[in-house]
Amino acid sequence: MVDDVTRRVGRANPTTEGIEATGERAAPRSVGIWLLVVAALVFAMVVLGGVTRLTQSGLSIVDWDPIMGAFPPITQEQWGEVFAEYREFPEYSEVNDGMTLREFEEIFWIEWAHRFVGRLIGLALIIPTLWFGIRRAIGRRLFVRLLAIFGLVALEGVLGWFMVASGLVDVPRVSPVRLSAHLVLATIIFGTILWTALDVLLPRAGPPGSKQRRPRSGWALLGFILLVMVSGGFVAGTKSGFAYNTFPLMGGRVVPEGLLRYDPLWDNFLENSATVQFQHRILAISLFVTVLAFAVLLLRRSPERRVAIAVWGLIGAALLQVTLGVSTLLLEVPTALAAAHQACALALFGIALFIFHESGEAEPPPNPAPPHGDDVDEDSELVAV
């Protein structure tokens, strides 16, 4: 990646109507801008998801109704009904015994808003996809890709409910595995939408039908960030941020006591706060060092201006992320700081993705496409819905 981004690769003119490097007709800029807006919505949704968890609001709506659930209770009687349903589940008796209706309304609205923005993202994705498709403003490949992303959004909704359902049992705490899976899928959705927007707004140049080759180190960095996010999801899911609130030592030691005290061994990585937090610290600091090394190597090769700016952004985001992580820990997980820590993780991922996108280099097609349109490949046809 380091080598490739520094080569000043030619860029296709995004305003040009015609065939771009993928062999598909270039989509209008409005498509790219719309996708950036949806990516921003997903970003906001991830932060709202964090706030939902941090305010312990996530288990306040105890059923899943994708359509009718969009309508919140209005009358006093309806509020009474949803509160009565909530009181039947263990979170009420175990955690919120004696909660008033007014207090319940507060956590209800947060969870409702989280689900509502989820629905909004689904609609904000599918309606314009169909609209652009019917008007043949986008090519077949892009259309199919957008439908696939919509499928991921729908899956995220199902996974969200699967996560909530794990907390509606005797122990009112959602499964850390499901929480992390929900976070990872949200990050993948954010990444694929952002990537698609960049494909449209900043298409890479190359002969018709050519593919973009990207260095493996870019995948590795994105994978590493995702891995650290998963480990953070486990810290959040096991509430390990409320233990060992010192840095850099844990319980006065570099390696905390009882690191592997659970049997079987793998249980430590799922349940043992010492292990879960220790691994997040180790992975996070390793990521920080990797990002710095990566950035220095990139900057030393005088990349394009916008890539250089992004690399400085990556350094800043990594620094901020570690500062937010340590502060969240020392101050015992205040909502605002923990939510900012989650947001910054996604920003770090997004910036790395941008740099990776810009590292594309055209790989000539095995059989060069014919110069004129008689024999146009099926994929390059405009989509007809």
Binding site for ligand HEM (CB under 6 A): 50, 53-54, 183, 225, 228-229, 232-233, 235-236, 241, 247, 280-281, 284, 287-288, 318, 321-322, 325-326, 328-329, 333, 338, 341-342, 345, 348
Nearer to ligand HEM, 38 or 228 (CB): 228
Nearest distance from residue 310's CB to ligand HEM, in Å? Answer: 17
Nearer to ligand HEM, 296 or 385 (CB): 296
19 three-state secondary structure: strand
Nearest distance from residue 271's CB to ligand HEM, in Å? Answer: 15
Nearer to ligand HEM, 42 or 138 (CB): 42
CA geometry: angle 61, 66, 69, nearest 5 deg: 45
Nearest distance from residue 191's CB to ligand HEM, in Å? Answer: 14
Closest CA to 338 of 269, 246, 242: 242
Q: Which residues pair with 212 in a beta bridge?
A: 362
Nearer to ligand HEM, 112 or 278 (CB): 278
C-beta neighbour count of 73 within 10 angstroms: 15
Nearest distance from residue 290's CB to ligand HEM, in Å? Answer: 9
Nearest distance from residue 320's CB to ligand HEM, in Å? Answer: 9
| Cis peptide bond upstream of 364, omega within 30 | no
Q: What does the alpha-carbon distance between residue 11 and residue 16 come to, in Å, rounded to a whole number?
A: 11
For the record, the structure tokens of 62 come out as 């105890």
Nearer to ligand HEM, 168 or 319 (CB): 319
CA torsion sign for 268, 270, 274, 278 is positive
Nearer to ligand HEM, 126 or 270 (CB): 270
Nearest distance from residue 322's CB to ligand HEM, in Å? Answer: 5
204 three-state secondary structure: strand
Q: What does the alpha-carbon distance between residue 66 and residue 73 come to, in Å, rounded to a whole number?
A: 15
Rg (the chain; Cα; Å):
23
Nearer to ligand HEM, 82 or 338 (CB): 338
- DSSP secondary structure code for residue 260 in this structure: T
- DSSP secondary structure code for residue 11 in this structure: B
Closest CA to 359 of 221, 160, 174, 185: 221
Nearest distance from residue 226's CB to ligand HEM, in Å? Answer: 9
382 three-state secondary structure: strand
